[in-house]
């Protein structure tokens, strides 16, 4: 099992949490004390991070922090419209789309008198600013194959908000990205790639499938209301047709393991696409049906991948794939 897909230890300091959640694309709120009048549990500019299932750092504990946590999670779940100019105002029925449009520039403020209402004896008051980040999560892609099309695809995806695990069994496919320091020292491998693109050299790439699918279902269950379109993508484009087929089968098997027959699960499953010709697509489909995968399951496989553009050059194919991914992600 590849350790890079394991969830790291939760952070305890707000700045560590901010860095980690930004990097992972996890929805979170940065809560900051922006005004203090009189006595208060924490000083001006104190901060904490709130996610849908955790917190790091503190604004002083007690009822104040409890309410800050609840408010932050209501912002993340769309129960509060961050664009309302004042007050604690839950959305009315049918207005959730406006809240779902909240992006990283959404800011919400709330004033807290620290008296009997909050069971706080400080006697002063504070104003807390809530800044929402990654409310609509970035795309997460698992890409198999380090060939010309995949390399071109990375050039496109390097400029987009996403997380990519890029897998190939051949070390030479990533040699072009090695830093001079890696070549000179022959120790820790470093690549000239954006931080959100993580190369993996793995003898058995199939091992990546199950944890990725499991992670996708956890992500969908944590905050289904904020999911705009497809968030998770498995792209199969290796040099070996038999490996492509094994990866496709492993993904369909992972779908079965998490409950493919559940209608609520169907819409949350990762996109599965395989680069192919029309002939290869038909052959794969026939072989899958012969192995007792039902048609509904086989229909989850997209072959060939990418929008029809007519171009066959690696960059043209890569752009068509990226366009299809963005189309699905934005639910167009």
What share of the chain has pLDDT > 70, as a percent? Answer: 77
Average pLDDT on 51-75 reads 90
Residue extents of the structural domains in the chain: 3-133, 139-329
Please state the rounded mean pLDDT for residues 241-258: 93
Q: Is the pLDDT of residue 240 over 90?
A: yes
Close Cβ partners of 319 (under 8 Å, ≥ 6 residues apart) = 152, 156, 309, 311
Largest CA distance in the chain: 75
Burial of 229 (0-12, 13-18, 19+ CB in 10 A): middle
Domain 139-329: give its CATH superfamily: NAD(P)-binding Rossmann-like Domain (3.40.50.720)
Q: What is the pLDDT of residue 170?
A: 92
pLDDT above 90 covers a percentage of the chain that reads: 45
Query: Is the model more confident about 262 or about 116?
Result: 116
Q: State mean pLDDT over 228-242.
A: 88
Q: What is the pLDDT of residues 212-229, one digit of tens each?
A: 998 887 655 544 444 456
Q: 125-150: per-residue pLDDT in tens?
A: 899 999 988 766 678 999 999 999 99
- Chain mean pLDDT for the chain: 81
Span 75-131, pLDDT tens digits:
887 777 655 544 444 433 443 333 333 334 468 899 998 876 777 767 788 999 999
pLDDT attached to residue 261? 58
pLDDT at 11: 84
**Full-model pTM:** 0.64
């Amino acid at each position: 099992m590849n350790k890079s897909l394991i969830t790291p230890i939760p952070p305890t300091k707000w700045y560590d949490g901010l860095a980690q959640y930004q990097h992972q694309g996890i929805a979170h709120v940065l809560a900051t004390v922006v005004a203090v009048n009189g006595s208060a549990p924490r000083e001006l500019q104190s901060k904490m991070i709130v996610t849908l299932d955790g917190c790091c750092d503190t604004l002083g504990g007690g009822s104040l922090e409890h309410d800050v946590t609840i408010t932050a999670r209501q912002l993340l779940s769309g129960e509060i419209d961050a664009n309302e100019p004042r007050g604690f105002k839950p959305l009315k029925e049918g207005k959730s789309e406006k809240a779902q449009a909240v992006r990283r520039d959404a800011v919400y403020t709330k004033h807290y008198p620290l008296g009997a209402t909050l069971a706080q004896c400080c006697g002063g008051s504070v104003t807390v600013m809530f800044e929402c980040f990654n409310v609509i999560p970035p795309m997460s892609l698992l890409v198999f194959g380090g060939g010309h099309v995949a390399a071109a695809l990375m050039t496109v995806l390097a400029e987009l908000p996403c997380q990519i695990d890029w897998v190939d069994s051949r070390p030479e496919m990533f040699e072009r990205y090695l830093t001079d320091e890696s070549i000179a020292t022959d120790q820790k491998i470093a690549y000239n790639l954006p931080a959100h693109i993580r190369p993996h050299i793995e003898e058995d790439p199939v091992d990546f499938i199950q944890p990725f699918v499991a992670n996708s279902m956890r992500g969908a269950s944590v905050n289904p209301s904020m999911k705009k379109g497809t968030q998770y993508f498995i792209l199969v484009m290796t040099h070996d047709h038999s490996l492509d087929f094994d990866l496709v089968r492993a993904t369909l098997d992972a779908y079965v393991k998490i409950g493919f027959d559940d209608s609520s699960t169907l819409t949350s499953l990762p996109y599965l696409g395989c680069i192919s010709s029309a002939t290869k697509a038909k052959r794969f489909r026939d072989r899958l049906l012969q192995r007792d995968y039902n048609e509904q399951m086989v229909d989850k496989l997209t072959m060939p991948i990418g929008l029809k553009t007519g171009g066959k050059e690696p960059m043209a194919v890569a752009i068509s794939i990226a366009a299809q991914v963005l189309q699905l992600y934005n639910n167009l």
